[in-house]
Amino acid sequence: MSRLTGWWSRRSSAGKVELYTRWTFHLFVPIELFLLGGSPFSRGEHGSFSTEAAVGLLLWVGVHSVLCAFLASRALDHATGKRERPVRLAAAVVGTTFCADLFLNLLWVGGVLPDPGVNVSVIAGTSIFTLCAVVLCLGPVRHMAYAVLGAAFVTGVPMAVAGNGLDVAAGSAVGILVGGVFISATSGFSSWLLRIVQELERSRDLKARLAVAEERLRFGRDLHDVMGRNLSVIALKSELAVQLSRRGRPEAVDQMVEVQRIAQDSQREVREVVRGYREADLRVELEGARGVLGAAGITCAVDAPALDLPPEVQSALGWVVRETTTNVLRHGDARRCAIVLRAEPGAVLLTVENDGAEERDGAAGATAALSRAGRGPGSGLAGLRERLGAVDGTLDAGPSAPHSFRVTARVPLPRAGRSGSARTPAAPARAVPGKYEEREAYDLRDLREAYEERGPDELRRTHESHESHEARGSHESHEREGTVA
């Protein structure tokens, strides 16, 4: 059964709405053939049609239904942004319908089509079905109203001019007005709904991309604040070492040793930034998951009683909540998500389950959806297992029911006396102000000594270039902070 319904369940919400709308208008082809194509073969009060006339009307109704279905398909492509508005095709369908109705009026007057009831049903019916397809190409509601009035006019006037009776022409016009208002409202609403759903789908994707871009900007700002000063000192000392080396002075080795030490300090500070950026608090992440999933239209049920957990356990479980929430938004088409936190004897269990998993072959394919966000360690499924492994925890991920995906994290609790309280997320590491003030003063003394043979102008230009570089880095940092805020 899952294979039979997979073509539907694997689609996104916007894809399901588009498919349903398209097939609704495609079904108008057999409906038009059933309502209008069989009437010429019935025997009326004014006599039956000849075989040639009945077959001709049936062919015209069949051709007209196919033309309207083709126009509706192109109009829906325009509504979803795949094609331009099919203006020429709509004009061709309208012109063909008008000419055919005029020709049927002439055959009615000539006695070839003897039954007025069949004639009116075919002429008015084809006009209404044409109106149904044309309305999909229109935008404002007033244009749809003009189309209904125009269809009633161009259908009733030829009947009256051809001499088929004013009462018949007026009745046909009124019928088209009533039926046209209903069919226009239905078609216009379908087109509007499809456009809104497509726009919401694009907005959801854009929101996810903007969230990633914002996180990158935040991380880049923190990294710049830490590394900007260190890199400036490294550049200054490297330039000093080059000048001393060219003059054969042994102090160049000491300067390069200092550069190496500063580089090692920079590596340590970068690791502190990364650790501070990647740490997560469980309570904060639970509330964040509820908020972000609710904003995306996904019902999120959180059942997490307050537990006295050690800081490292809270951090690991908080990251599980963050990563699984991200994957619910990025992969699948979930409508509901449940997050449950339970205390077991000697352990704590966290379960995150959603109903938007795609069908895959085996558990490996199911868990691949979770790790698609990243290939290397530190992201996706591998990153979660790495974090849980640090606290002796385990992670299980896989399908739990048709179209459902469950992630279960189990972390053993330390024995009594080692339990901690809720922790506050660590802030990214920052460069300590004044850390290199004394060292930079020494650098400038050495720089003066190394450049004394080249004159004060060269020394001033080098010092001003160094200061302007630091000022420009600080200015860019403040600009990025304002942009992210």
**pLDDT 10s digits, 65-107:** 999 999 999 999 988 888 899 999 999 999 999 999 899 988 8
pLDDT of the residue at 51: 84
Contacts of residue 63, Cβ cutoff 8 Å, sequence gap at least 6: none
pLDDT of the residue at 4: 55
pLDDT of the residue at 278: 56
- Tell me if 57 sits within 8 A of 49, measured CB to CB: yes
- pTM value? 0.52
pLDDT of the residue at 279: 63
- 422 three-class SS: coil
Question: Which range, of 57-71, 156-170, 210-224, 245-259, averages the lowest pLDDT?
Answer: 210-224
Q: What does the DSSP assignment read for 262-301? A: HHHHHHHHHHHHHHHHH---HHHHHHHHHHHHHHTT-EEE
Compute the mean pLDDT over every residue in the chain, rounded to the nearest whole number. 77
pLDDT of the residue at 276: 63
- Tell me if 332 sits within 8 A of 368, measured CB to CB: no
300 or 11: whose pLDDT is higher? 300
Contacts of residue 53, Cβ cutoff 8 Å, sequence gap at least 6: 40, 107, 112, 113
Q: Taking the CA atoms of the chain, what radius of gyration do you get in angstroms?
A: 37
Question: pLDDT, tens digit, for every residue of 373-418?
Answer: 333 333 467 778 888 888 999 999 888 877 788 999 999 987 654 4
User: 6 falls in which pLDDT band (50, 70, 90)?
Assistant: low
Residue 139 has pLDDT above 90, yes or no: no
pLDDT of the residue at 148: 92
CB burial class (10 A; 0-12, 13-18, 19+) of residue 116?
middle
pLDDT of the residue at 476: 45
Question: Which range, of 9-18, 168-177, 224-233, 335-344, averages the lowest pLDDT?
Answer: 224-233
Question: pLDDT, tens digit, for every residue of 21-56?
Answer: 899 999 999 998 888 887 777 765 555 678 888 888
Sheet hosting strand 394-401, strand order edge to edge: 299-303, 336-344, 347-354, 404-412, 394-401
Number of CB atoms found within 10 A of residue 28's CB: 19
CA-based max dimension of the chain: 120
pLDDT of the residue at 165: 79
Residue 190 has pLDDT above 60, yes or no: yes
* Rounded Cα distance, 480 and 328, in Å: 29
Which whole number is the average pLDDT over 231-242? 83
Question: pLDDT, tens digit, for every residue of 443-476?
Answer: 444 444 444 444 444 444 444 444 444 444 444 4
Give me the residues paired with residue 303 across strands: 340
Percent of the chain, pLDDT > 90? 20
User: 231 falls in which pLDDT band (50, 70, 90)?
Assistant: confident
- From first CA to last CA, the distance across the chain in angstroms is 50
User: 228 falls in which pLDDT band (50, 70, 90)?
Assistant: confident
pLDDT of the residue at 46: 54
CB burial class (10 A; 0-12, 13-18, 19+) of residue 145?
middle
